[in-house]
Each structure stands twice: as C-alpha cells, then as structure tokens.
Amino acid sequence: MTNCERCGAALDPTALTCPFCGLTTRAGVQARAMEEQAAQSRAGLAAQWAIQQQRASQMDIAKLGTQAMWWSIAGIVLCCLPLGVVGMVMGLRARGRAQAANITVPGTAMAGLVIGAISCVTSIALFTYAAIESQNEQDHANKRVAEIDKQLGKKPEAPTLDHDTACLLGEQYTLKNSFDDKSGYQFENFECAGKLTQTTDSAQLEDLKFHYNSDEEKAFVCFKRGTKWYVDRLATSGCNADATATSASASADAAAAPSATSAPATTHSHHAHETRDARDH
C-alpha cells in the first residue's frame, strides 16, 4: 500500500489517481508517459508508412508518365494513330493520379500527353492527305482513261493492230486494273517503245514501261481479237512464256490425278485370269 502525497489516503500501488482528492499518482504519471510515448511511436510509424506509400506512388506515376511519353513518341515517329492515343491516355492517367495523390505531375506525363495529342493530330492529317491524294490519283487516272477512249475511237475494230493503238490500249488497261499487286491508278509516266508482234487473232506488245513512285515497272501486253482488239492480260516474261507455264502447270496437275479407269481394268484382268484357271482344272 502507498499513501496519497496530497491527502495521505491509503492507495493501491497500481492506482493512477487518488480516489479521494483526484491527485495523479506516480503510477499514473508513468502510465500517461508510456501512453504518450506509444502514441508518438504509432504516429511515427504511420508517417513513415505514408512517406513510403507516397514514394511508391511517385515511382508508379513517374513510370506511367515515362511509358506515356515513349508511346506518344512511337506514335508520332511511326505516324500511328493508336499509339498516339495510348500515349495520350496514359499521360492523362498519370496526371490524374498525381493530382489525386497531391504530388507534382511528372514532366514525362505532360510530355506524353502533349506529344500524344500532336501524334493524333498529325496521324489524322496524314491519313486525310493520303485519302485526298489517292482520290486525286483515281480522278486523274479516270480522266486519262476517258481521253484514251476518245483517242481510240474505232481503231481497235481494224483487222490489224497498229503500234499507237496497242500502246493506248495497254495504258488504258493498266490504269483500270492492277499489276504486280499495285493499283493501276497509281501508275504514271507511260513509255511505249517496245516491239509489236501479231497474228490474225492475237498480238504482243513488248516493254510497256510505267512508273510507281520512283520505281520503273515493265510489262508485256497480251492482246486478243474478237469483234475488236482488246487487252487480255499483262505479263512479266512474255505472253507465250506465261501461257506455256500455265499449260505446263495444268498438264502436271492432270498427270498427278489418279486414272478413273485403271482400277476397273485391273479387276477385269484378274477375273479373266481366274476364269482361265478354272477351265484348265
């Protein structure tokens, strides 16, 4: 037992205050000090945890901002609209997370956002330009086809195909169709100085030249004659060579196919042999 320092009342040694006068005992003082120390320790741990969380969030946001910037750069370099959109969206996410966490928005996130927006605008502008340019090329090709129609008139109906008519027919066919997986309206600068050979119902024009961007293309023009001369196809190695290759391929396929009559003939021969053996016995 202990006594209160103020009123002298007998107290339990573990009592925190005197029940008679309310004085805080030494045990109470110690208990309060320990409680304050524990509270301070908890506050310190909470602050450390908050700092660690903030650092981790900063690192994640900085990483997201860096990714946004590189996606946007890839979009503007490759002129790819989806990549620019990804970079812009990631930049917006990084900025939103930074504002929510009350931290400074990373410069990479803002760069990704700005570059992504520029990439999207640039891609849309280039796609629009490409579409307009393609339409202009088609309009130009259609105009040239109409001009050739007027120049040809009834010349293809002549019994003999002359060189100028063959050149015009070859150019017109090329513009309206395709060659080597390229659309015909993209070809320009036609040159027609090749040799023309013909029979009564077919003809070949050698070395019809034209350009696709800066590349020169060259084709053989194969003609046939019905009620008038017309282009049957474009060939890369001569009309006769292509026809021979096609014929050889068809012959090889036919030779590889099994004969429908070989099996019955074998069966009939075997049956006849058994019949002769039975008569001999």
**What is the enclosing helix (H) or strand (E) of 220?**
strand 215-225
Residue 66 and residue 111 in one domain: yes
Report if residue 238 sits inside a domain. yes
Q: Do the domain assignments include residue 102?
A: yes
270 inside domain: no
170 lies in the same domain as 235: yes
**pLDDT higher than 70, residue 255:** no
Distance CA 209, CA 218 (A): 5
Alpha-carbon span 238 to 236, nearest angstrom: 6
pLDDT for 142 equals 94
Which of 119, 105, 118 minimizes the C-alpha distance to 64?
Answer: 105
Look at residues 82, 110, 126 and tell me which one is the last residue of a structural domain: 126
Which pLDDT score is estimated for 31?
A: 79
26 in a structural domain: no
- 68 & 117 share domain: yes
Q: What is the pLDDT of residues 83-102, one digit of tens each?
A: 999 999 999 999 998 888 88
| Span 210-216, average pLDDT | 90
The per-residue pLDDT for 32 is 80
Residue-number span of the structural domain to which 90 is assigned = 62-126
Residues 178, 232: one domain? yes
Q: Rounded mean pLDDT of the chain? A: 82
User: Could you tell me if residue 263 is inside a domain?
Assistant: no
Percent with pLDDT over 70 in the chain: 83
State the Cα–Cα distance between residues 216 and 207, nearest whole angstrom. Answer: 11
Q: Are residues 184 and 236 in the same domain?
A: yes
Q: Is residue 181 part of a domain?
A: yes
C-alpha–C-alpha distance, residues 54 and 103, integer Å? 8
pLDDT, tens digit, 9 for 90 and up, residues 38-79: 888 888 888 888 778 878 888 888 999 999 999 999 998 888
CATH number at residue 172: 3.10.450
Same domain membership, residue 159 and residue 122? no
Q: What is the pTM of this model?
A: 0.56
- Give the tens place of pLDDT for each residue, 164-173: 999 999 999 9
* Residue 262 banded pLDDT, cuts 50, 70, 90: very low
**Sign of the C-alpha dihedral computed for residues 156, 211, 122 and 127 taken in this order:** positive
